[in-house]
Amino acid sequence: MRNFKEDVALNTLNHSCAHLMAQAVKHLYPQAKFWVGPVVEEGFYYDIDLGDDVIRDEDLAKIEKEMKKCAKADKRIVRQEITREEALEQFKDDEYKIDLINRMPEGTHISMYTQGDFTDLCRGPHTESTKNCRYFKLIKHSGAYWKGDKNNKVLQRIYGVCLPTQEELDSHLADLEDAKQRDHRKLGKDMQIFMFSDIVGGGLPLWLPNGLTVRRLLSDYIMNKELARGYQHVLTPSVASTKLYKISGHLAHYKDDMFPIMSRDDDEFVLRPMNCPEHMIIYKSQLHSYRDLPIRIAEIANDFRFEASGALTGIERSRAFTQNDSHIFCTEEQIASEIKAVTELILDVYKDFNLNQFEFRLSLRDKENTEKYFGNDDLWERSESELREVLKEMNVPYYEAEGEAAFYGPKIDVQVRSALGHDVTLSTIQLDYQLPERFELEYVANGGEKKRPVVIHRAILGSIDRFVAFLLEETKGILPLWLAPRQAVVIPVSPEAHGEYAKKVVEELRKIGVRTELDDRNEKLGYRIREAQTNKLPIEVVVGDGEIENNGITLRRYGSRQETKMSLEEFLAAIKVEIDEKRLAPEVQKA
């Protein structure tokens, strides 16, 4: 997807088209007054005060028709500079323009642009003529508080997009439609994966039975991977005393992102934003020898962060989420081998999910703004160099990004390109000398002296919530068979004549752990098959006279019209292998 804000040519074109839209709106709604009309990543919008009028869906076509007239008129877009005082006089009846002008310092020369009968304040630049903006589409509309303040009036916000040619516009609109179908918020609702409720609270997802199935399967999957690599799983509380977060530094450095403090019984508690402090306490509960290290503590942990309401994005970014988290306590000599092992685990998981478009990012502190980080320059230089050397030793391509480090240490982030074109951080590896110091962690070294361990923070799936959102958008909700919350439906051709055999097939599938439903409703066969396709059920098993006679089934896959006849025994064996091996592509074929 293009970024209209960063592309200079598209930025200019879309800003000009925003003025074209404003001109058309002024023709249709003479009372209209305009606030701001910026270019954003996906096109442009304009905030408009229409008085008592309200924009409805059907009004967009009317505005587009008028915009086409304005574009066809081929009016030159002319820039003019006036003084601040002249601007105040010219726009004296428009409180929105007066507000903008009053923000400008005395003596400022203000630019405005005129196209035919429409003039507006603007810094520009613009295209030469309105005819350059003829390939456009108004996408949607909504309400927006003036200046983003809920105490102010609600304005009408209209979104649009403009491209240089009709072909490019058509292609972009097709991409937008694809993105709409991939939006995990829509898919999550349609597939009954999760929901939100204003009564429960913004950003607090409710996971429905289908969603919990997906979460459980993902949790079991990654826990088994970790257990095979020597991780020890724990469970720690989601709330803790503020004493813990004062030691860790979260209360000082992360307070704005945490839920408010709760006071009770002369103590203060807070919902945790992350799990590292609790894991430090677990490590510290015993005396460890160098022979014990590395110690890998892992948890599927519930965390809470008070994200701004405007930043909430379904389960991709919420206020309650679950992390696939771990902390590795090791010696300095073990840093390289442990980070390599974590990187190999990340690549192994990505291979299982066929994730190929990703980059490694070395996230460093901002050297110009060091007050928000723990520790001294020497420790930061040392830990950043160690991560850089490990990446070089592994011959892993990477890029560096200043200002993206955690407040306690640098990290390696794996940036995955989503199907919607978003740059998403799924996995992370963080090197930390600070928390072992703050919690006074120790181990007994080979010579008997006590030393500080180093901590490697790492998350493979990252937030399981975000990983589910990512998978839904990657697959359009067509999850691999092993992960699908509803895996199969058995459909008897005639519920009366073939219902008993269909129940037998359901029982056999359930015996091997396949999540199976029976559709024996008194509806036409074609209707039931189409509904299974609409519900994106991976496997449809149709049974009739022939299947009963041969103790077999007819298999249909989601998205395919092909039918495969096979014995029930062959089918059960093949489907079990596909699920057990977590195959991504449908491979159940007649033996």
Q: Kindly list the catalytic residues.
A: 276, 305, 323, 325, 327, 411, 457
Q: DSSP character for 111? A: E
> Dihedrals φ, ψ of 53, to 5°?
-80, 150
DSSP 190-254: HTTSEE--TTT-TT--EE-HHHHHHHHHHHHHHHHHHHTTT-EE----SEEEHHHHHHHSHHHHS
What whole-number distance in Å separates Cα of residue 357 and Cα of residue 80?
A: 47
Q: Is 327 annotated as a binding residue?
A: yes
534: Cβ contacts below 8 Å, ≥ 6 apart? none
Gap between the Cα atoms of 429 and 342, Å rounded = 8
Rounded to whole angstroms, how far apart are CA atoms 570 and 315? 39
What is the sign of the dihedral through the CA atoms of 302, 304, 305 and 309? positive
Q: How far is CA 284 from CA 15, 194, 273, 327, 375, in A?
A: 58, 38, 21, 13, 21
Q: Which H or E run contains 543? A: strand 539-543
Check whether 172 is labelled as a binding-site residue. no
Question: Dihedral sign, CA of 219, 305, 257, 358?
Answer: positive
Written as six digits, the tokens of 241 are 């005393």
CA distances from 477 to 27, 155, 486, 519 (A): 44, 35, 12, 21
Strand, coil or helix: what is 79? Answer: strand
Quote the distance between the C-alpha of residue 530 and its chain's center. 31
Strands, E, within 320-453: which ranges? 320-330, 358-364, 398-402, 411-417, 423-432, 443-444, 450-451
Neighbouring CB atoms inside 10 A of 27's CB total 17
162 is in an annotated binding site: no
Q: 483 is written with which tokens?
A: 């992960």
What phi, psi does 512 have (nearest 5°)? -95, 15
User: Which of the 8 DSSP states describes residue 421?
Assistant: S
Show binding-site residues for Zn(2+).
Answer: 276, 327, 457
